[in-house]
Amino acid sequence: MNAFKNLISQLWKSPSGRIGLILVALFSLLALGAPLLSPYDPIKQNLLLKSSPPSISHLFGTDLFGRDILSRLLYGARVSMGIGLGSAFLAVFLGSAVGLSAGFLRGGIDTFLMRIVDLLLGFPKFFILLLVVGLGSPSIWLTATVLGALSWMEIARVVRGEVVLIREMNYVKAATALGLSPMNIAMRYVLPNVSGSIIVSATLLVGTMILVEASLSYLGFGVQPPDASWGTIMNQGRIDPLGTWWISASAGSAIFLSLIGFNLLGDSLRDVLDPRTENSQS
Amino acid sequence: MDNKELILRIKELSISYRSSGSSFWGSKEEIVAVNDVSLTVRRGKTFAIVGESGSGKTSIAMSILGFVKPVSGTVEFNGMNLFSLEADKRRKTMRLIQPVFQDANSALNPRMTVETSLADSIDTPDQLQKREQTNSLLRSVGLSSDHMGKYPHQLSGGQKQRLCIARALAPEPELLILDEPVSAQDLSIQAQILSLLLEIKKAKNITYLLISHDLNVVRILADRVAVMRSGILVEEASCEKFFSDPTHPYSQELLENSGIK
């Protein structure tokens, strides 16, 4: 808990870290508090109010079916950020496991795993994503799983590269000479020293995943109406982008600000968690 | 010589490395680091291997520790061939051979406190006993329990090297491999670490295998000296003989260059 407090205070010292923290915390709170904060039911239609511009009663206006956009954005944050966090978690878990195994064990296992990574990186990811999500019945879980399963390779490469360097450090040799088991060395001597890179990659990946989910939903392959995600809200705005500008603008701003938040947080974490940086977090 | 008097016997050890391929097809060049080296180390003595960078002295140390696989030859520790031991037996035996590395910065896990680093080296499930031993180890190298909660970056260079020595002493080793143990330290710290190593040797009767290019350090610590050049052992002599009457021209050159002779 103390380490977490230290981390937050280190992040707070830089303007970019502060902005990143505020934005991520704000969007997380809005997503979690959606049922309490939403002024209207996000899926209840009111055709009398369809395509109303922003007003006092509907701060962000209404969509083509008269649904309150603010309420849909708040509920959409749950879906978009849930998919972003869930898929990033899966990708980080798979990427870290593969990268750690390849870099620590080396030899044939390293070659085998890295060739698989090379092979998968050569696949057209977005096409496979559209295919799998399109063939199955689109749902939040399927989207998050497929996104995560197709995004771990870059993390595996980053982790493997760091592990190869760290396993040659003398403290790993000293631990080996002390007779500690390879599993103990991998989990307590190697993994904690690549955790900085993993956390940074994860943070940056959440932003990317939110964007990919929005793109999928925009194309109609992600979350299906009447459920809201930022991508589906943007999709509605494309029918009359000038006449109903507030629909795309509000969802686009949410995506933009959350991306900025996660990217700034990721960059600041990279600085704070790097042991070579002054005032870094141990 | 009585077998019990011998702690380490290296027989016809050869080590080579493969360079990364320079041609388009990646054909690799073989670099011989150690060529047919044999030597014996007596229990309780300090055996120094000297030579310039790239002479193969650290390769020998890494091979003893099992980090480098030799092309041929054997390393016997207490009469057991280290290369033919089963994994479990080898792990237990290797706890009796501990390294102290040149660069203390890279020898300590930056994410572990002094206490955790030392506790990891003590092989007992009893937490109270572990803590007592950790305290005692810290005291034995001139550190105090105040250092327990500190991370390596909060320690000075000398304190880090003391911690490395304490960690190496934790499993009660019979052989310490000292790879340039003071060359990364400034002069005053060098003197402190050398005097600590002499004290430990006297108190615990541990055998030292000293790897160094600094002949002043060798003169203070060593009983016997082996000189290596381009992977070949060119001379082996007692410390007095080496410093007073070296026979090989390369040994004479080393002494002249270091300003000792």
Q: Which of B109, B160, B174, B211 to mutate to test the interface with A (most CBs of A within 10 A)?
A: B109
pLDDT at position B40: 95
Contact assessment for residue B19 and residue B28, using Cβ atoms and an 8 Å cutoff: yes
CB atoms inside a 10 Å sphere around CB B15: 22
**A231, containing H or E segment:** helix A230-237
- A275 neighbourhood in chain B, CB within 8 Å: 110, 153
Q: Which of A111, A166, A171 to mutate to test the interface with B (most CBs of B within 10 A)?
A: A171
pLDDT at position A282: 46
- B95 neighbourhood in chain A, CB within 8 Å: 177-179
Residues 6+ apart with CB under 8 A from A147: A83, A87, A90, A91, A129, A209, A212, A213
Q: Residue B227's beta-bridge partner residues?
A: B50, B235
Name the CATH code of domain B1-96+222-261 (choices 3.40.50.300, 3.30.200.20, 1.20.1260.10, 3.75.10.20): 3.40.50.300
CA A246 – CA A272 distance, rounded (Å): 38
Q: What is the pLDDT of residues A100-138, one digit of tens each?
A: 999 999 999 999 999 999 999 888 888 888 888 778 777
CATH class belonging to A16-32+58-273: mainly alpha
Distances (CA, A) of A105 to A110, A190, B95: 7, 12, 22
Q: What is the pLDDT of residues B148-175, one digit of tens each?
A: 889 998 899 889 999 999 999 999 999 9
Structure tokens at A166: 């760290």
Q: Which of A170, A183, A194 to mutate to test the interface with B (most CBs of B within 10 A)?
A: A170
**A116, containing H or E segment:** helix A107-121
**B81, containing H or E segment:** strand B80-81
Closest in B101, B121, B123 to A170, CB measured: B101
Query: Where along chain A do its domains lie?
Result: 16-32+58-273
CA B27 – CA B30 distance, rounded (Å): 10
Distance of residue B171 Cα from the nearest chain A Cα, in angstroms: 7
Q: What is the dihedral of CA B80, B81, B86, B89, to 10 degrees?
A: 30
Q: A189 in contact with B at a CB cutoff of 8 Å?
A: yes
CA A237 – CA A247 distance, rounded (Å): 5
Q: Could you tell me how many CB contacts below 8 A there are between chain A and chain B?
A: 60
pLDDT, tens digit only, all 282 positions of chain A: 677 788 888 889 889 999 999 999 999 999 999 899 988 888 888 888 888 889 888 888 898 888 999 999 999 999 888 989 999 999 999 999 999 999 999 999 999 999 999 999 888 888 888 888 778 777 788 888 888 999 999 999 999 999 999 999 999 999 999 989 999 999 999 998 998 888 888 888 988 888 888 888 888 777 777 788 888 888 888 877 788 899 989 999 999 999 999 989 988 887 787 655 555 554
Query: Where along chain B do its domains lie?
Result: 1-96+222-261
Residue B93 DSSP SS3? helix
Cβ contact, residue pair B107, A179, below 8 Å: no
